[in-house]
Amino acid sequence: MEKQAYIVGVYDDEEPLIKAAQKFKDEGIKIQEIFTPYPIHEIFEIQDVKSRLSIAAYIYGWIGGLSILAFMQYAAVLSWPLNYGGKPENSFPSFILVTLVFTILFVTIMSLTTFIGRAQIFPGKTIDIIDPRSTDDKFVFVFPKDGTDRQKVESLLKSTGAVEVYDR
């Protein structure tokens, strides 16, 4: 993978980071990525990132639930009806448990697949780690070098409490 050139600002605490992110947003400077060691909800709001995974999961739930009910109907009523002690073939109440559990299983598998697909993460993926300390104790802002006003960004980073600013 060809390495891109970046300007990197490093913070060592969450509070100045959130303030800085807000300041950059107010100034109209786009931060390409913010890497943090744990999720910070304020950053999600400032960066305006959203996830529609829960909507997808809701839809998967309906698909999973309805298909397993239809399948049980087919298997136990249409394909090979068996008489279990004179009970009705389409014994809806006793299908509910299987429906519930299968729906959960289906939502899990599909949500995981969607997550892997959307977040593009999979075992053995080759990555370009900007600053390895961002999974440890540092909070990292990354700006693309092209098209960024270097001086302005650097002075903003320093004034908001960045402990390091460097090129990469």
Partner 1 sequence: MYKTEVRGLLVEGGKTLGDVTRDVMSPLETRSPNWWRVVFGFASLMSIWGIYSIYITITQGIGTWGVNNTVGWGWAIINFVWWIGIGHAGTAFSIFLLVLRQKWRTSINRAAEAMTVIAVLCASIFPALHMGRIWNFYFILPYPNTRGPLWVNFNSPLFWDFLAISAYLLISASFWYLGMIPDFASIRDKTTSKVKKAVYGFFSMGWLGSAKEWIRFEALAFILGGIAAVLVVSVHSIVSTDFAVGMEPGWHTTIFPPYFVVGAIFSGFAMVMTLMIIIRKFYKFENYVTDSHLNAIARILVFVSLIMGTAYLTEIFLSWYSGNKYEMFTFFHNRITGEFTPQFWAMFISNALIPQLLWSKKLRSNITVLFIISIIINIGMWFERFNIVVTSLTKDFLPANWAPYHPSLIEVGIYVGTLGFFILGILLFFRYIPMIAISEIKGVMKFNKTKAD
The residues of the shown chain that bind partner 1, judged by CB under 8 A, are: 14, 33-40, 43-44, 47, 49-51, 53-54, 57, 71-72, 75-76, 79-80, 82, 84, 87, 91, 94-95, 97-98, 100-102, 104-105, 107-109, 111-112, 115-116, 118-127, 129-130, 132-137
Q: Which residues of 44-72 are buried (b: 16+ CB within 10 A; e: fewer)?
A: eebbeeeeeeeebeeebbeebbeebbeeb
Min separation Cβ 14 and partner 1, Å: 6
Min separation Cβ 151 and partner 1, Å: 26
Instruction: Please list, in sequence order, all residues whose beta carbon lies within 8 angstroms of the beta carbon of residue 52, skipping any fewer than 6 positions away.
Output: none
H/E segment holding residue 156:
helix 150-159
Q: Which is nearer to partner 1, 3 or 125 (CB)?
A: 125
Q: In which residue are the tokens 């050139």 written?
A: 5
Q: Which is nearer to partner 1, 2 or 122 (CB)?
A: 122
Amino acid identity of residue 42, one-letter, is: E
- Residue 90, SS3 per DSSP: coil
Beta-bridge partner residues of 165: 9
Q: Which is nearer to partner 1, 104 or 151 (CB)?
A: 104
Q: Which is nearer to partner 1, 79 or 151 (CB)?
A: 79
Q: Which is nearer to partner 1, 37 or 161 (CB)?
A: 37
Amino acid identity of residue 118, one-letter, is: R
Min separation Cβ 74 and partner 1, Å: 9
Min separation Cβ 157 and partner 1, Å: 17
CA-wise closest residue to 107 among 55, 52, 57: 57
